[in-house]
Structure 1
Amino acid sequence: MPDETITVEPVSAALWPELQEVFGERGDPSGCWCQWFKLSGAAFRETTTEARAERLHESLDHDPPPGVVAWIDGEPVGWAAVEPYSSYPGLARSPITKRVGDDPADPWAVTCFVVRLEYRKRGVARALLQGAIDYALSRGATIVEGYPVDPGVRPSLSNAERYHGTVSLFDSAGFRLVRRPSTIRAIMRYEAEH
Protein backbone atom coordinates (compact mmCIF):
# COMPACT_ATOMS: atom_id res chain seq x y z
CA MET A 1 0.00 0.00 0.00
CA PRO A 2 2.82 2.55 0.52
CA ASP A 3 3.23 2.90 -3.25
CA GLU A 4 -0.45 3.77 -3.79
CA THR A 5 -1.12 6.98 -5.63
CA ILE A 6 -4.07 8.99 -4.40
CA THR A 7 -5.40 11.55 -6.83
CA VAL A 8 -7.90 14.28 -6.01
CA GLU A 9 -10.05 16.32 -8.36
CA PRO A 10 -12.95 18.77 -8.07
CA VAL A 11 -16.33 17.09 -8.22
CA SER A 12 -18.53 17.53 -11.28
CA ALA A 13 -21.99 16.41 -12.34
CA ALA A 14 -20.40 13.62 -14.38
CA LEU A 15 -18.99 12.14 -11.15
CA TRP A 16 -22.36 11.66 -9.42
CA PRO A 17 -22.27 7.82 -9.65
CA GLU A 18 -18.80 7.81 -8.09
CA LEU A 19 -19.90 10.20 -5.35
CA GLN A 20 -22.85 7.91 -4.58
CA GLU A 21 -20.36 5.08 -4.19
CA VAL A 22 -18.28 7.12 -1.73
CA PHE A 23 -21.30 8.09 0.39
CA GLY A 24 -22.60 4.53 0.36
CA GLU A 25 -25.88 3.21 1.66
CA ARG A 26 -25.10 2.92 5.37
CA GLY A 27 -23.69 5.17 8.05
CA ASP A 28 -23.78 8.91 8.61
CA PRO A 29 -22.64 10.04 5.13
CA SER A 30 -25.49 8.19 3.44
CA GLY A 31 -27.98 10.02 5.64
CA CYS A 32 -26.48 13.50 5.59
CA TRP A 33 -25.14 13.94 2.04
CA CYS A 34 -23.19 17.00 3.30
CA GLN A 35 -26.36 18.99 3.91
CA TRP A 36 -25.97 19.56 7.68
CA PHE A 37 -24.33 22.98 7.22
CA LYS A 38 -26.51 23.84 4.21
CA LEU A 39 -29.90 23.62 5.97
CA SER A 40 -31.35 24.87 9.23
CA GLY A 41 -31.76 22.23 11.92
CA ALA A 42 -35.52 22.10 11.37
CA ALA A 43 -35.16 21.92 7.58
CA PHE A 44 -32.57 19.15 7.91
CA ARG A 45 -34.88 17.09 10.10
CA GLU A 46 -37.81 17.66 7.72
CA THR A 47 -35.81 16.73 4.61
CA THR A 48 -35.71 13.08 3.60
CA THR A 49 -32.43 11.31 2.96
CA GLU A 50 -33.37 11.08 -0.73
CA ALA A 51 -34.01 14.84 -0.86
CA ARG A 52 -30.65 15.55 0.81
CA ALA A 53 -28.93 13.37 -1.79
CA GLU A 54 -30.77 15.20 -4.55
CA ARG A 55 -29.69 18.58 -3.12
CA LEU A 56 -26.05 17.47 -3.30
CA HIS A 57 -26.58 16.06 -6.79
CA GLU A 58 -28.07 19.36 -8.00
CA SER A 59 -25.21 21.34 -6.46
CA LEU A 60 -22.69 19.55 -8.66
CA ASP A 61 -23.75 21.86 -11.48
CA HIS A 62 -23.12 24.99 -9.39
CA ASP A 63 -20.11 27.23 -9.80
CA PRO A 64 -18.06 26.50 -7.82
CA PRO A 65 -18.77 22.79 -7.39
CA PRO A 66 -19.02 21.86 -3.67
CA GLY A 67 -15.96 19.72 -3.08
CA VAL A 68 -13.31 17.26 -4.18
CA VAL A 69 -13.19 13.51 -4.77
CA ALA A 70 -10.23 11.20 -4.09
CA TRP A 71 -9.28 8.15 -6.17
CA ILE A 72 -6.98 5.16 -5.75
CA ASP A 73 -6.34 3.15 -8.91
CA GLY A 74 -9.49 4.46 -10.59
CA GLU A 75 -11.67 3.70 -7.56
CA PRO A 76 -13.50 6.62 -5.87
CA VAL A 77 -12.48 6.45 -2.20
CA GLY A 78 -13.26 9.77 -0.52
CA TRP A 79 -14.85 13.19 -0.53
CA ALA A 80 -14.19 16.54 1.12
CA ALA A 81 -16.72 19.38 1.11
CA VAL A 82 -15.10 22.75 0.45
CA GLU A 83 -16.81 25.98 -0.59
CA PRO A 84 -16.90 29.61 0.50
CA TYR A 85 -18.10 30.04 4.09
CA SER A 86 -21.19 31.89 2.80
CA SER A 87 -22.31 28.68 1.05
CA TYR A 88 -22.89 27.11 4.48
CA PRO A 89 -25.62 29.00 6.40
CA GLY A 90 -25.23 26.55 9.29
CA LEU A 91 -21.70 27.74 9.97
CA ALA A 92 -22.88 31.28 10.72
CA ARG A 93 -25.53 29.96 13.14
CA SER A 94 -23.22 27.68 15.09
CA PRO A 95 -21.57 29.04 18.24
CA ILE A 96 -18.50 27.00 17.22
CA THR A 97 -18.04 28.42 13.72
CA LYS A 98 -19.76 31.82 13.64
CA ARG A 99 -17.62 34.83 12.72
CA VAL A 100 -16.08 36.73 15.64
CA GLY A 101 -13.73 39.67 16.00
CA ASP A 102 -11.53 40.16 12.96
CA ASP A 103 -12.34 36.82 11.32
CA PRO A 104 -12.30 37.01 7.53
CA ALA A 105 -15.86 37.41 6.27
CA ASP A 106 -15.93 34.69 3.62
CA PRO A 107 -12.97 32.31 3.67
CA TRP A 108 -13.28 28.97 1.96
CA ALA A 109 -14.32 26.30 4.46
CA VAL A 110 -13.51 22.58 4.58
CA THR A 111 -16.50 21.22 6.48
CA CYS A 112 -16.66 17.48 5.94
CA PHE A 113 -14.64 14.40 5.04
CA VAL A 114 -15.99 11.04 3.90
CA VAL A 115 -13.58 8.14 3.38
CA ARG A 116 -14.90 4.73 2.45
CA LEU A 117 -14.36 2.31 5.32
CA GLU A 118 -12.09 -0.05 3.42
CA TYR A 119 -9.78 2.85 2.42
CA ARG A 120 -9.26 4.43 5.84
CA LYS A 121 -5.79 4.76 7.37
CA ARG A 122 -4.21 5.02 3.91
CA GLY A 123 -3.69 8.78 3.69
CA VAL A 124 -6.94 9.55 1.89
CA ALA A 125 -8.04 12.32 4.29
CA ARG A 126 -4.62 13.98 4.02
CA ALA A 127 -4.82 13.87 0.21
CA LEU A 128 -8.39 15.20 0.31
CA LEU A 129 -7.37 18.13 2.51
CA GLN A 130 -4.48 19.05 0.22
CA GLY A 131 -6.79 18.70 -2.77
CA ALA A 132 -9.35 20.96 -1.07
CA ILE A 133 -6.67 23.59 -0.42
CA ASP A 134 -5.43 23.42 -4.01
CA TYR A 135 -8.97 23.63 -5.35
CA ALA A 136 -9.89 26.61 -3.17
CA LEU A 137 -6.70 28.46 -4.12
CA SER A 138 -7.33 27.75 -7.82
CA ARG A 139 -10.74 29.42 -7.39
CA GLY A 140 -9.20 32.58 -5.92
CA ALA A 141 -9.30 31.80 -2.21
CA THR A 142 -6.60 33.39 -0.07
CA ILE A 143 -7.79 31.85 3.21
CA VAL A 144 -9.09 28.32 3.86
CA GLU A 145 -10.58 27.36 7.22
CA GLY A 146 -11.27 24.07 8.93
CA TYR A 147 -13.21 23.24 12.09
CA PRO A 148 -11.61 19.99 13.26
CA VAL A 149 -11.97 17.93 16.41
CA ASP A 150 -9.08 17.09 18.72
CA PRO A 151 -8.83 13.41 19.62
CA GLY A 152 -5.73 14.32 21.67
CA VAL A 153 -8.12 15.96 24.13
CA ARG A 154 -10.77 13.25 23.88
CA PRO A 155 -9.38 10.01 22.43
CA SER A 156 -12.81 8.34 22.60
CA LEU A 157 -14.11 10.38 19.64
CA SER A 158 -15.81 7.98 17.24
CA ASN A 159 -15.10 7.92 13.51
CA ALA A 160 -18.51 9.53 12.99
CA GLU A 161 -17.47 12.44 15.23
CA ARG A 162 -14.30 12.96 13.20
CA TYR A 163 -16.04 13.97 9.97
CA HIS A 164 -14.75 17.53 10.45
CA GLY A 165 -11.18 16.20 10.31
CA THR A 166 -8.72 16.28 13.18
CA VAL A 167 -6.46 19.02 14.52
CA SER A 168 -3.37 16.96 13.66
CA LEU A 169 -4.58 16.51 10.05
CA PHE A 170 -5.05 20.25 9.55
CA ASP A 171 -1.80 21.03 11.36
CA SER A 172 0.10 18.68 9.02
CA ALA A 173 -1.28 20.60 6.02
CA GLY A 174 0.00 23.96 7.26
CA PHE A 175 -3.10 25.28 9.01
CA ARG A 176 -2.54 27.33 12.16
CA LEU A 177 -4.73 27.23 15.23
CA VAL A 178 -6.84 30.42 15.48
CA ARG A 179 -8.90 29.56 18.58
CA ARG A 180 -10.65 26.79 20.46
CA PRO A 181 -14.36 27.55 20.77
CA SER A 182 -14.84 24.34 22.78
CA THR A 183 -12.66 21.76 24.48
CA ILE A 184 -12.54 19.41 21.51
CA ARG A 185 -13.13 21.77 18.58
CA ALA A 186 -10.69 24.15 16.92
CA ILE A 187 -10.83 26.86 14.29
CA MET A 188 -7.80 26.46 12.04
CA ARG A 189 -6.76 28.64 9.13
CA TYR A 190 -4.54 28.26 6.08
CA GLU A 191 -3.38 31.51 4.49
CA ALA A 192 -2.01 31.51 0.96
CA GLU A 193 1.40 33.02 0.49
CA HIS A 194 1.18 36.22 -1.49
Structure 2
Amino acid sequence: MAIEVRPATVFDDVCAVLGPKRPDANVCWCLSYRLTSSKENVALRGPARGERVAQLVAEDPPPGVIAYDGEEPVGWAAVHPRADTSFARNRKIPHVDDVDVWSVWCIRVRPGHRGEGLSHHLLAGAVAFARAHKASAVEGYPVDNQGRKVDLTMAYVGTRALFEAAGFTKVADTDSVLNGFPRVLMRLDLR
Protein backbone atom coordinates (compact mmCIF):
# COMPACT_ATOMS: atom_id res chain seq x y z
CA MET A 1 0.00 0.00 0.00
CA ALA A 2 1.57 3.28 -1.16
CA ILE A 3 -0.47 6.06 0.46
CA GLU A 4 -0.13 9.61 -0.78
CA VAL A 5 -1.90 12.53 0.87
CA ARG A 6 -2.76 15.48 -1.36
CA PRO A 7 -4.74 18.72 -1.01
CA ALA A 8 -8.47 18.14 -1.52
CA THR A 9 -8.80 19.95 -4.85
CA VAL A 10 -10.84 17.34 -6.77
CA PHE A 11 -14.50 17.44 -5.79
CA ASP A 12 -15.25 13.95 -7.12
CA ASP A 13 -12.57 12.54 -4.80
CA VAL A 14 -13.96 14.45 -1.80
CA CYS A 15 -17.40 13.17 -2.76
CA ALA A 16 -16.10 9.58 -2.86
CA VAL A 17 -15.02 9.86 0.78
CA LEU A 18 -17.60 12.23 2.29
CA GLY A 19 -20.58 12.19 -0.05
CA PRO A 20 -23.87 10.39 0.57
CA LYS A 21 -25.10 7.33 -1.29
CA ARG A 22 -28.27 9.29 -2.12
CA PRO A 23 -27.77 12.84 -3.45
CA ASP A 24 -30.75 14.15 -1.44
CA ALA A 25 -29.43 12.84 1.90
CA ASN A 26 -28.55 15.33 4.61
CA VAL A 27 -25.08 14.17 5.55
CA CYS A 28 -22.46 16.30 7.28
CA TRP A 29 -20.03 16.64 4.33
CA CYS A 30 -17.63 17.87 7.04
CA LEU A 31 -19.36 21.26 7.06
CA SER A 32 -20.59 21.35 10.66
CA TYR A 33 -17.33 22.79 11.99
CA ARG A 34 -15.99 24.30 8.76
CA LEU A 35 -18.78 26.84 8.36
CA THR A 36 -18.54 29.83 10.66
CA SER A 37 -22.30 30.38 10.57
CA SER A 38 -24.53 27.84 12.28
CA LYS A 39 -27.44 29.37 10.34
CA GLU A 40 -25.77 28.46 7.05
CA ASN A 41 -25.01 24.96 8.29
CA VAL A 42 -28.64 24.36 9.28
CA ALA A 43 -30.02 25.96 6.10
CA LEU A 44 -27.97 23.78 3.75
CA ARG A 45 -30.01 20.67 2.97
CA GLY A 46 -29.50 17.73 0.63
CA PRO A 47 -27.60 18.56 -2.58
CA ALA A 48 -26.92 22.13 -1.37
CA ARG A 49 -24.42 20.71 1.13
CA GLY A 50 -22.40 19.06 -1.63
CA GLU A 51 -22.59 22.23 -3.72
CA ARG A 52 -21.14 24.21 -0.80
CA VAL A 53 -18.29 21.70 -0.46
CA ALA A 54 -17.62 22.02 -4.20
CA GLN A 55 -17.20 25.78 -3.64
CA LEU A 56 -14.80 25.20 -0.75
CA VAL A 57 -12.75 22.69 -2.76
CA ALA A 58 -12.28 25.36 -5.44
CA GLU A 59 -10.88 27.85 -2.90
CA ASP A 60 -7.22 28.34 -1.99
CA PRO A 61 -6.54 26.73 0.37
CA PRO A 62 -9.02 23.89 -0.07
CA PRO A 63 -10.82 22.55 3.04
CA GLY A 64 -8.59 19.57 3.73
CA VAL A 65 -6.56 16.69 2.37
CA ILE A 66 -7.35 13.36 0.71
CA ALA A 67 -5.40 10.12 1.14
CA TYR A 68 -4.97 8.05 -2.02
CA ASP A 69 -4.09 4.41 -2.41
CA GLY A 70 -2.78 4.66 -5.96
CA GLU A 71 -5.45 6.85 -7.57
CA GLU A 72 -8.29 5.68 -5.30
CA PRO A 73 -9.40 8.24 -2.67
CA VAL A 74 -9.49 6.33 0.63
CA GLY A 75 -9.52 8.96 3.37
CA TRP A 76 -10.09 12.58 4.32
CA ALA A 77 -8.80 15.02 6.92
CA ALA A 78 -10.36 18.44 7.40
CA VAL A 79 -7.74 21.09 8.11
CA HIS A 80 -8.05 24.84 7.83
CA PRO A 81 -7.21 28.02 9.75
CA ARG A 82 -9.21 28.00 12.99
CA ALA A 83 -10.37 31.54 12.20
CA ASP A 84 -12.33 30.13 9.22
CA THR A 85 -14.14 27.52 11.31
CA SER A 86 -16.75 27.43 14.04
CA PHE A 87 -13.88 26.75 16.49
CA ALA A 88 -13.13 30.48 16.26
CA ARG A 89 -16.18 31.06 18.50
CA ASN A 90 -16.68 27.65 20.10
CA ARG A 91 -17.40 28.06 23.82
CA LYS A 92 -16.46 24.48 24.73
CA ILE A 93 -13.06 24.38 23.00
CA PRO A 94 -10.80 27.04 24.56
CA HIS A 95 -8.34 29.35 22.88
CA VAL A 96 -5.11 28.92 24.78
CA ASP A 97 -3.33 31.93 23.26
CA ASP A 98 -3.40 34.29 20.28
CA VAL A 99 -1.36 32.09 17.93
CA ASP A 100 -3.00 31.90 14.49
CA VAL A 101 -3.46 28.12 14.53
CA TRP A 102 -4.94 25.69 12.03
CA SER A 103 -7.48 23.11 13.19
CA VAL A 104 -7.80 19.43 12.28
CA TRP A 105 -11.32 18.37 13.22
CA CYS A 106 -12.30 15.39 11.10
CA ILE A 107 -10.44 12.30 9.99
CA ARG A 108 -12.43 9.83 7.94
CA VAL A 109 -11.34 6.56 6.36
CA ARG A 110 -13.55 4.81 3.81
CA PRO A 111 -15.02 1.43 4.72
CA GLY A 112 -12.83 -1.36 3.45
CA HIS A 113 -9.68 0.65 4.22
CA ARG A 114 -9.95 0.94 8.00
CA GLY A 115 -7.40 -0.66 10.28
CA GLU A 116 -4.53 0.04 7.85
CA GLY A 117 -3.04 3.07 9.63
CA LEU A 118 -4.59 5.61 7.26
CA SER A 119 -5.51 7.96 10.11
CA HIS A 120 -1.80 8.40 10.82
CA HIS A 121 -1.12 9.21 7.14
CA LEU A 122 -4.04 11.64 7.08
CA LEU A 123 -2.96 13.49 10.22
CA ALA A 124 0.63 13.73 8.96
CA GLY A 125 -0.68 14.99 5.61
CA ALA A 126 -2.88 17.59 7.32
CA VAL A 127 0.12 18.86 9.29
CA ALA A 128 2.26 19.03 6.14
CA PHE A 129 -0.54 20.91 4.35
CA ALA A 130 -0.82 23.45 7.19
CA ARG A 131 2.97 23.83 7.31
CA ALA A 132 3.06 24.46 3.54
CA HIS A 133 0.55 27.26 4.11
CA LYS A 134 2.78 28.85 6.79
CA ALA A 135 0.70 27.79 9.82
CA SER A 136 2.37 28.53 13.16
CA ALA A 137 0.71 25.58 14.87
CA VAL A 138 -1.91 22.90 14.31
CA GLU A 139 -4.56 21.95 16.84
CA GLY A 140 -6.85 18.96 17.13
CA TYR A 141 -9.70 18.24 19.53
CA PRO A 142 -9.73 14.43 19.87
CA VAL A 143 -11.36 12.28 22.50
CA ASP A 144 -9.29 11.10 25.45
CA ASN A 145 -10.68 7.56 25.38
CA GLN A 146 -7.76 5.99 27.30
CA GLY A 147 -7.68 3.05 24.91
CA ARG A 148 -11.38 2.24 25.15
CA LYS A 149 -13.42 1.65 21.99
CA VAL A 150 -14.95 4.72 20.37
CA ASP A 151 -18.18 4.32 18.41
CA LEU A 152 -17.29 4.44 14.71
CA THR A 153 -19.72 7.29 14.02
CA MET A 154 -17.95 9.41 16.65
CA ALA A 155 -14.37 8.43 15.83
CA TYR A 156 -13.99 11.21 13.26
CA VAL A 157 -12.35 13.55 15.81
CA GLY A 158 -9.50 11.10 16.39
CA THR A 159 -8.04 9.97 19.67
CA ARG A 160 -5.51 11.51 21.97
CA ALA A 161 -3.16 8.58 21.22
CA LEU A 162 -3.36 9.25 17.46
CA PHE A 163 -2.39 12.90 17.97
CA GLU A 164 0.37 12.03 20.45
CA ALA A 165 1.84 9.57 17.93
CA ALA A 166 2.04 12.51 15.49
CA GLY A 167 3.98 14.65 17.99
CA PHE A 168 1.05 16.70 19.36
CA THR A 169 0.91 17.47 23.08
CA LYS A 170 -2.09 18.15 25.28
CA VAL A 171 -2.30 21.84 26.09
CA ALA A 172 -5.80 22.08 27.59
CA ASP A 173 -8.89 20.27 28.69
CA THR A 174 -12.15 21.26 27.01
CA ASP A 175 -15.79 21.31 28.08
CA SER A 176 -16.67 19.16 25.07
CA VAL A 177 -17.66 15.51 25.43
CA LEU A 178 -18.20 13.11 22.54
CA ASN A 179 -19.46 9.53 22.85
CA GLY A 180 -19.05 9.82 26.63
CA PHE A 181 -15.35 10.72 26.36
CA PRO A 182 -13.85 14.12 27.18
CA ARG A 183 -12.22 15.94 24.31
CA VAL A 184 -8.79 17.49 24.83
CA LEU A 185 -6.99 20.24 22.97
CA MET A 186 -3.83 18.89 21.36
CA ARG A 187 -1.28 21.10 19.63
CA LEU A 188 1.78 20.76 17.43
CA ASP A 189 3.98 23.85 17.19
CA LEU A 190 5.33 24.36 13.65
CA ARG A 191 7.60 27.35 14.40
Q: Does 1:83 align with 2:80?
A: yes
Alpha-carbon distance in structure 1 between the residues aligned to 2:51 and 2:99: 29
Q: Name the residue aligned to 1:141.
A: 135
1:169 to 150, 162, 167: 162
**Gapped runs of 5+ residues in structure 1?**
none
Alpha-carbon distance in structure 2 between the residues aligned to 1:56 and 1:86: 18
Higher strand proportion (structure 1 or 2): 2
Q: Name the residue aligned to 2:114.
A: 120
Q: Is the 8 A contact 1:92 1:98 kept in 2?
A: no
2:15 is paired with a residue whose SS is helix
Q: Is the 8 A contact 1:24 1:30 kept in 2?
A: no
Deviation at 1:96, TM superposition (A): 2.5
Q: Does 1:107 align with 2:101?
A: yes
Superposed, which structure 2 residues align to 1:1-194 within 5 Å? Answer: 4-12=1-9, 15-25=10-20, 31-37=27-33, 38-88=35-85, 90-100=86-96, 103-152=97-146, 155-182=148-175, 184-192=182-190, 194=191
Q: Is the 8 A contact 2:100 2:136 kept in 1?
A: no
Alpha-carbon distance in structure 2 between the residues aligned to 1:7 and 1:156: 28
2:146 is aligned with what amino acid? G
Q: 1:74 to 1:7 in 2, by over 3 A?
A: same
Deviation at 1:142, TM superposition (A): 1.8
Q: 1:75 to 1:30 in 2, by over 3 A?
A: farther
TM-score relative to the length of structure 2: 0.87
Q: 1:76 to 1:170 in 2, by over 3 A?
A: same
Alpha-carbon distance in structure 2 between the residues aligned to 1:26 and 1:59: 21
Q: Is the 8 A contact 1:130 1:173 kept in 2?
A: yes
Q: Is the 8 A contact 2:26 2:45 kept in 1?
A: no
The number of aligned residues is 183
Alpha-carbon distance in structure 2 between the residues aligned to 1:173 and 1:162: 17
**Gapped runs of 5+ residues in structure 2?**
176-180
Deviation at 1:116, TM superposition (A): 0.3
2:124 is paired with a residue whose SS is helix
Q: 1:168 to 1:117 in 2, by over 3 A?
A: same
Deviation at 1:18, TM superposition (A): 1.4
1:174 is paired with a residue whose SS is coil
